[in-house]
């Protein structure tokens, strides 16, 4: 491997490479893993074992840029707390698990993907201790949204959290990288959200015409092309932030579904669940968990 192309290092679990020259991801990996066959490298990509900076990337032709960091997970066979693919456990006790999910990882299974999900991996993780252990979904993050997410370890805890979600959750803060320069320092948007037959959400200003959605936003930093916002959800509707940003004329970067023209500006959706504060379902203690703002959000909005 040419030193001009990358800085190459290893740790106990990963191969970590800093990109020095433009390249496509598959081509780059074939050079890094020259001892593996082309099909083997393709399989590693398809299984979600490669991350670019702060997101999982599976596209063979993803364009790499100098300064990006490529990480390859060496061992996928054993799912342990420190070897979960596309997530890190922030907290765990007898009732809940809180994770920091990377962009590109599904929360739950779809028709096309059953195993490479946060739920499936955590289920395998808890079953290592006891085959009877299980994991239950409390809330979800979109595949391309990163950040803090919570799961329950029993049906009882799941129901208790979901039935009291509005009261139990004290703060849900997101950050979004959006298109264009924001002129307002802060604001508040309210609408009623409806869903089309093709599962596209849209806003209505007619009272009670759908589910009420409330989003408060604060400008953090920006330039002529991009703005970084902090958003507090007063309601938790499907695609709420994405629809409200489109309504404001500043769609979330990478969100082609809701009006973004900057699809590949950061190689992912510009949405991240930064903070989750809630009352523990058993101890009643107030807990706060945070996931750092992705570096690509900060650099693009400088």
Q: Which residues are catalytic?
A: 142
Question: Which residues have C-beta within 8 Å of that of residue 124, sequence separation ≥ 6?
Answer: 79
Q: How far is CA 83 from CA 73, 95, 117, 125, in A?
A: 8, 21, 14, 10
Per-residue 3-state assignment (H helix, E strand, C coil) for the chain: CCCCCEEEEECCCEEEEEECCCEEHHHHHHHHCCCCCHHHHHHHHHCCCEEECCEECCCCCCEECCCCEEEEECCCCCCCHHHCCCEEEEEECCCEEEEEECECCECCCCCCCCCCEHHHHHHHHHHCCCCCCCCEECCCCCCCCEEEEEEECCHHHHHHHHHCHHHHEEEEEEEEEEECCCCCCEEEEEEEEEECCCCCEEEECCCCCCEEEEEEEEEEEECCCEEEEEEEECCCCCCHHHHHHHHCCCCECCCHHHCCCCCCCCCCCCEEEEEEEEECCCCCCEEEEECCCCHHHHHHCC
Alpha carbons 76 and 215: distance in angstroms, whole number: 39
212 bridge partner residues: 192
């Amino acid at each position: 491997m040419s030193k001009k192309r990358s800085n190459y290092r290893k740790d106990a679990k990963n191969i970590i490479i800093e990109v020095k020259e433009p390249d496509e991801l598959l081509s780059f990996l074939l050079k890094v893993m020259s001892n593996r066959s082309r099909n083997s490298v393709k399989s590693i990509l398809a299984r979600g074992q490669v991350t670019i900076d702060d997101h999982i990337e599976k596209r063979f032709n993803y364009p790499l840029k100098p300064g990006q960091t490529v990480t390859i997970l060496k061992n996928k066979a054993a799912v342990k707390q420190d070897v979960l693919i596309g997530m890190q456990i922030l907290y765990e006790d007898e009732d809940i698990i809180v994770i920091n999910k990377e962009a590109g990882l599904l929360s739950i299974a779809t028709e096309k993907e059953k195993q490479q999900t946060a739920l499936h991996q955590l289920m395998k993780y808890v079953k290592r201790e006891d085959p009877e252990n299980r994991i239950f979904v409390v809330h979800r993050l979109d595949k391309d949204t990163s950040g803090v997410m919570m799961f329950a370890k029993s049906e009882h805890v799941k129901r208790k959290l979901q039935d009291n979600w509005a009261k139990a959750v004290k703060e849900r803060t997101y950050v979004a990288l959006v298109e264009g320069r924001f002129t307002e320092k802060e604001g508040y948007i309210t609408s009623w959200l409806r869903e089309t037959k093709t599962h596209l959400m849209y806003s209505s200003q007619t009272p009670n015409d759908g589910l009420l959605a409330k989003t408060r936003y604060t400008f953090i930093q920006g330039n002529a092309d991009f703005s970084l916002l902090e958003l507090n959800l007063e309601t938790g509707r499907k695609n709420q932030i994405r629809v409200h940003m489109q309504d404001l004329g500043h769609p979330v970067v990478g969100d082609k579904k809701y009006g973004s023209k900057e699809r590949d500006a950061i190689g992912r959706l510009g949405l991240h669940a930064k903070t989750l504060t809630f009352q523990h379902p058993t101890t009643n203690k107030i807990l706060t968990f945070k996931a750092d703002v992705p570096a690509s959000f900060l650099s693009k909005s400088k």
